[in-house]
Structure 1
């Protein structure tokens, strides 16, 4: 048996009772923390709560050579991830690999950032289109700094369909956790290059440390919001399309957006 368990958003206490019970009954516990990180917890805190050793897998052990799956053919194995269990395509692939090996799988869900942002900001979940991720820039073989334009394109297409865009921010071992400020700076640089108006006077919503006792939620126009202090990671960004009047009111009252949004919003 292989049980996928989502640990929630912030610390070791976010796990469900059902998830905790499954860990206590498991023969071995694996985890990966490269797709998402619990900023309020350490592996030591997890182990103390669970009373079990947590074996943290490397990225290649999850994506390229998940040999550890074989243990689930004879033992009860759990696989822990931040957030919900199947938000990442990597985790879906693992489940399919297990199925191919004849391993029974089950899911125990945890709180997901995709739903948390709606609660924190007041944006309505059915108004979201395709999500995107902003990676850190890299230097090409010619020594040129390359900024991905894919997130800009995703925002553009979503706006054409009047849909909000959830923008995940890069987590890199060497470059660290991308901030809302860096993400907006990159999007505005792409705007300067393409001049298509996607980010001109664009409203943006930045959220930091969702699930913690003190999350930060700020909304404003991108050029101004990039100067705001969001504090420590993890950060996430939303670029809304047009707003329903309840969404506009929520952003003004919950996220400090300009009050003019309430006059501009749709019925």
Structure 2
């Protein structure tokens, strides 16, 4: 059987007892290592789990899944996922491959905490979130803005938008590849400040008032850990904040932000006076 096991958000101890028992007895243990990261390295997991762990990068999961699934019809294989297993479509695809295998490979999923639910720590109600979007690193020649349309749809309903920020792990250096060499770039993790700056850049082009300087937002870092950090403010203010180490996410607040949400979030404000002023002028009373 293939066990797809959620690890939670922070460290080696966030795995469930049931998941830990399975990982310790499995024939092989893989760690998916590109859609998200824990705040500890593989060695911490191996020490705590008492098992050697195979890192599964994007190429292995998407192009060499047969290697992961080998003998899974007769032996237990553990596939560890940071957060919750089905927060990323990659893992849905892996489960589908098991169904389509001949004979089908039985699977079992063990859920865990995800940023999709942990973001409730900001005080924003999960009932008031719309579509989740992703923000990728802009380049000089590539600045995709499809996220803006999804945020605009959420905004039209007064809903909050969770923005998941880009990470680059084991990304090939394209210039080196053109010269016939396989070289990987150093890992990069988008920050709240970078995300907010890119939002302002696109807003300056679109000018629809979706994520302008005075829009309220909340930046989060390392949710679920002892060092978690939450900062609220305008998008302009968040473009200047430093939340430290990864992983970061950002929430753009919807205009129907309830008074109870405001009371909770304002405690995290960079400038509480400015935050309150914008909320009362643009958000309060729109329930």
Q: Does the TM-score normalized on the shorter chain lie above 0.5?
A: yes
Instruction: Find the counterpart in structure 1 of residue 109 from structure 2.
Output: 107
TM-score (norm 1): 0.93
Corresponding position of 1:196: 208
Q: Which residue of 1 aligns with 2:248?
A: 235
Structure 1: runs of 5 or more not aligned: 140-144
Cα drift, residue 136 of structure 1: 0.7
1:121, 1:255 within 8 Å by CA — same for their partners in 2?
Answer: no
Give the match for residue 89 of structure 2: 89
Query: How far apart are residue 262 of structure 1 and its match?
Result: 6.2
SS in 1 for 2:51: coil
Tell me whether 1:163 sits opposite 2:159 in the alignment: yes
State yes or no: 1:181 paired with 2:198.
no
For 1:1-267, list aligned pairs within 5 A: 1-39=1-39, 41-67=40-66, 68-101=68-101, 102-118=104-120, 120-139=121-140, 145-173=141-169, 174=185, 176-200=188-212, 201-242=214-255, 243-255=257-269, 257=272, 258-260=275-277, 263=280, 264-266=283-285
Q: How far 1:138 moved relative to its partner?
A: 2.9
Q: Return 5+ residue gaps in structure 2 as ranges.
A: 170-184
Q: Report deviation, 1:260.
A: 3.4
| SS class of match (2:134) | strand
- TM superposition score normalised by structure 2: 0.86
Matches of 2:22 and 2:262, distance apart in 1: 42
Encode CA deviations 1:47-84: one digit per residue, 9 max, x unaligned: 11111110111211111220121321121001001000
Taking the aligned partners of 2:193 and 2:149, their CA distance within structure 1 comes to 19
Matching residue of 2:180: none
Alpha-carbon distance in structure 2 between the residues aligned to 1:255 and 1:56: 39
The Cα shift of 1:248 comes to: 0.7
Cα distance in 2 for partners of 1:137, 1:255 equals: 27
- Quote how far apart the aligned CAs of 1:192 are: 1.1
Deviation at 1:2, TM superposition (A): 0.6
SS at match of 1:199: coil
For residues 11 and 163 of structure 2, the distance between their equivalents in structure 1, rounded to whole angstroms, comes to 22
Q: Report the counterpart of residue 178 of structure 2 in structure 1.
A: none
User: What's the CA shift for 1:253?
Assistant: 2.3
Distance 1:74 1:207, change over 3 A: same
Deviation at residue 244 of structure 1 after TM alignment: 0.7
How far apart are the structure 1 equivalents of 2:90 and 2:34? Answer: 11
The Cα offsets for residues 32-58 of structure 1, whole Å up to 9 and x where unpaired, read as 11001002x111110111111101112
State how far apart, in whole Å, the 2-side matches of 1:10 and 1:213 are. Answer: 9
Tell me the number of residue pairs that the alignment of Structure 1 and Structure 2 aligns. Answer: 260
